[in-house]
Amino acid sequence: MNVFWFIPTGGDSHYLGTTKGSREVDFNYMKQLAQAVDSLGYQGALLPTGRSCEDAWVTASSLLSVTSNMKFLVALRPGLMMPSVAARMASTFDRLSGGRLLINVVSGSNPAEQAGDGSHVSYDKRYELTDEFLKVWRSLLGGEEVYHAGKHLNIDGGRLIYPPVQTPHPPIFFGGSSEKALDVAANHSDVYLTWGEPVEQVKEKINKVKALAEKKGRTLTFGIRLHVIVRETEEKAWEAANDLIKYVDDETIEAAQKELSKHASEGQRRMLELSKRSRNNLEVSPNLWAGIGLVRAGAGTALVGDPETVAQRLKEYQEIGIDTFILSGYPHLEEAYRVAELLFPYLPLNSGSAAEKKKAKSTAGVVIADNALPTR
């Protein structure tokens, strides 16, 4: 298993839906968290994206010099930046980090947020744009000179002078549950990422993506995004789960669910369906609890239990093809330690947890006319 953690740039707390127990997520806190991830055996961490979060690229860049091993899973947002700019950002980050960049492609799900950012591409067309964007982005990082005339992008002689350390490009993570999203994943992703649904639902999705990729001559790996509430005993774990939402009142839930229902994402719709139960009936499959999705956008489920039980549930996902697990818990610093100390001993962790630091070849001389590297 490749196990990642999460940098909560949108806020952290002991409890959801209230300021009680909240924690300021400033640079010093993120530094502590990143260094914990760096030293505890995690492969790296996901940084979220959107208007409710600090910028993922700036945050990840600020944490490079205070970490040595962890990889940063950072979002690319087709439609909010051009692929050539995104390629330069990715290559520079990969070079300066020694190959510690992973790419999380986010097409967007909240129409109001997209419009606020100046992107007015319809939901159906958004995946067309993402497909074009990734074709150009991958070609640039692969060293090609790009000429592309598509429905959404027109690139005339795009080039990337400084190549990334990882070849042909930093690995692409991509999630999405709609048919259009699955097709883009089959075309471009290295790791297809799903949110934490019951095992049979995840298996069905994996099989669809796998079949689509095989038709295109591609092979993918698979990952899942889950919260974890692990304690020494099952009883203590469920007590902690209930404590997490004990200050969430019905009015807050109603307002949150109404807002989340406006999202165009099929994945968000599926998360909402799991959390539309009474707060005493949120265990949607053995040890899989949908309480977080009452008020949180995106990943809304958590595995709850003692270490042996949670490890067994993770292994059930592994048996259907998941090998990358992106975990989190509230508050994230304490839970990063708790998961590493209680859960890791029961997991078949990838022995290469610490990323091998690679070195980019330095430039010999000054670039000529902003266009070419000097020759001998």
List the CATH number of the domain containing 136. 3.20.20.30
Q: 278 pLDDT band (50/70/90 cuts)? A: low
pLDDT, position 355: 41
Give 279's pLDDT tier (boundaries 50, 70, 90): confident
pLDDT for the residue 356 = 47
271: confidence class by pLDDT, cuts 50, 70, 90:
low
pLDDT over 90 at 246, yes or no: yes
- Whether 329 and 3 have beta carbons less than 8 Å apart is answered as no
pLDDT recorded at residue 352: 58
Kindly give the interhelix angle for 179-188 and 123-141, rounded to the nearest 10 degrees: 0
pLDDT for residue 263: 66
* Contact (Cβ atoms closer than 8 angstroms) between residue 140 and residue 83: yes
Structural domains of the chain, count? 1
DSSP string, 61-106: HHHHTT-SS-EEEEEE-BTTB-HHHHHHHHHHHHHHHTS-EEEEE-
In a domain, 153, yes or no: yes
Residue 166, pLDDT > 60, answer: yes
Give pLDDT, residue 369. 80
Q: Is residue 290 part of a domain?
A: no
Cα 152 to Cα 53: distance, rounded to the nearest angstrom = 27
Q: For the chain, what is the mean pLDDT?
A: 89
Give the CA distances from residue 203 to residues 188, 227, 342, in Å, rounded to whole numbers and listed in that order: 20, 19, 27
Q: Report the pLDDT value the prediction gives residue 79, as an integer from 0 to 100.
A: 80
Q: Which residue has the higher pLDDT, 57 or 176?
A: 57
Residue pair 202/303 in contact by the 8 Å Cβ criterion: no
- pLDDT band of 96, cuts 50, 70, 90: very high
**How many other C-beta atoms lie within 10 A of the C-beta of residue 25?**
21
| Tens-place pLDDT, residues 346-361 | 999 986 544 445 667 7
Q: Pick the range with the lowest mean pLDDT from 31-40, 52-61, 138-147, 290-299.
A: 290-299
Give a yes or no: residue 189 inside a domain: yes
CA–CA gap between residue 62 and residue 118 (Å, rounded): 27
Average pLDDT for residues 327-350, to the nearest whole number?
Answer: 97
pLDDT for 239 beyond 90: yes
pLDDT category, 242, cuts 50, 70, 90?
very high
Q: Does residue 148 have a pLDDT over 50?
A: yes
229 within domain boundaries: no
Band of residue 120 on the pLDDT scale cut at 50, 70, 90: low
- How high is the pLDDT of residue 115? 63
Please give the pLDDT value at position 353: 46
Residue 291 located in a structural domain: no
Per-residue confidence (pLDDT) for residue 118, from 0 to 100? 66
Q: Would 362 be classed as within a structural domain?
A: no
Give, for 173, the enclosing helix (H) or strand (E): strand 172-175
**Helices 199-215/307-319 angle, 10° precision:** 30
Average of per-residue pLDDT across 133-146: 95
Is 205 contained in some domain? yes
C-alpha 239/C-alpha 6 separation (Å) is: 23
Q: What's the pLDDT at 264?
A: 60
* Domain coverage including residue 106: 2-222+330-346
Please spell the DSSP secondary structure of 345-375, one letter per residue. GGS---TT-SPPP--PPPP-SPPBTTTBPPP
Percent over 90 (pLDDT), the chain: 68
Query: 99, 35, 42: which is closest to 62 by C-alpha?
Result: 35
SS3 288: strand
Domain membership flag for residue 156: yes
Residues 139 and 159: their CA atoms lie apart, in Å, by 9
Residue 371: pLDDT above 90? no
- Please state, in angstroms and rounded to a whole number, the distance separating the CA atoms of residues 205 and 173: 15
Lowest mean pLDDT across 96-100, 149-153, 327-331: 149-153
Beta partners for 3?
325
Q: Is the model's pLDDT at 111 over the cut of 70?
A: no
- What's the confidence (pLDDT) of residue 210? 95
